[in-house]
Structure 1
Amino acid sequence: MLGDVNQPTIGVLALQGDVREHFSALAECGAKPVGVRRVSEFDAIDGLVIPGGESTAISRLLTVFDLLEPLRKRLRDGLPAFGSCAGMIMLASEVLDTRPDAEHLDGIDMTVRRNAFGRQVDSFETDLDFAGIEGGPMRAVFIRAPWVERAGSGVEVLATVPHGPAAGRIVAVRQRSVLATSFHPEVTGDLRVHKLFTDIVRKG
């Protein structure tokens, strides 16, 4: 732990996507959020959030700014990370329905299908039971969201779609200190996923 254990420094990858919303949620959970755009800034954080946005754009910018391999190394070395929506895609070990030149970070042993729920007009909300989080169902917002088609043997499934055509699809997972959701907890005001991640970071 680099900073105060009660106020860990959590970076938010600030290349593209909904950075500000994650900043606000992390601060409310007692963390110190900082933007990350340079390799040197990886050394000053206890954990990292990869926000929603456009996964192929994030992939391209990671490459342009020479962040891709350093971030892969930090994840291999145990850096706690949380990815929402596009962040989930970036953390996958395999991505379906993406550009052939798109890169990913191999943070979780899973296969993710990009835009699995459809286009922007197919965005929706539903209530999810989320394993390990108390307080009843969580309202989840899905916007051009992915889902997990394969979760490796070391991956814990935390939530699945409860009903409808996509019933049973995996939408939240954890492997060791890396967490991913295909929905956007940063936009609902429900801080429980961010609190879970902040606690993961505190435990190192």
Structure 2
Amino acid sequence: MKVAVLDINGKDTGRKAELSNDVFAIEPNNHAVYLDVKQYLANQRQGTHKSKERNEIAGSTRKIKKQKGTGTARAGSIKSGVFKGGGRMFGPRPRNYSFKLNKNLKRLARKSALSMKANDNSIVVLEDFNFDSPKTKNFTSILKALEIDNKKSLFVLGGLNNNVYLSSRNLKGSEVVTSSELSTYKILNANKLVLVESALEGIESNLSK
């Protein structure tokens, strides 16, 4: 699959980038995508939720009324969950929501997500670029040139570039990652996937194993 390479002004450079069919043109596996996205979102959860149970409530331990003869249900503690101010019954406890997926499934999920974007013509290949210093307006000008300033976009770089990363950090609709940080969720969450030329080799080598 060949895609035109654009410059930072949104103009065709006249060159073509070759996208591997083994990565960008496979039959998407929807279940693999579902599991990988589910794992990503589960890993974002802190799992620190907690409510007090009856043994953690401060209160009297005396029996609040006699056992029989009241005509109502028996009750032994004011800390019971059936009373106002009592402990919560079956409340949330701290837990770890993460779960394991094997590497082959995660690799298949990412290839499926990239193939979905390729099928939708949502992939843009951009020539390598850099900024002299971090400036948001420089990054915004690229978004406008590519006509994606009003869309969610994900820029994939070949390696860490602080000037580009810091220039995009204030923009809610755009995110910059390296090829090694690419995830299924981030691919699908973006309307446009912008791949810098130097990132292509890293993506294909990571996913062609």
TM-score of Structure 1 vs Structure 2, range by shorter chain: under 0.3
Larger relative CO (CA 8 A, sep 6+): 1 or 2? Answer: 2
Looking at secondary structure, tell me which structure has more helix per residue: 2
Please identify which structure carries the higher strand content. 1
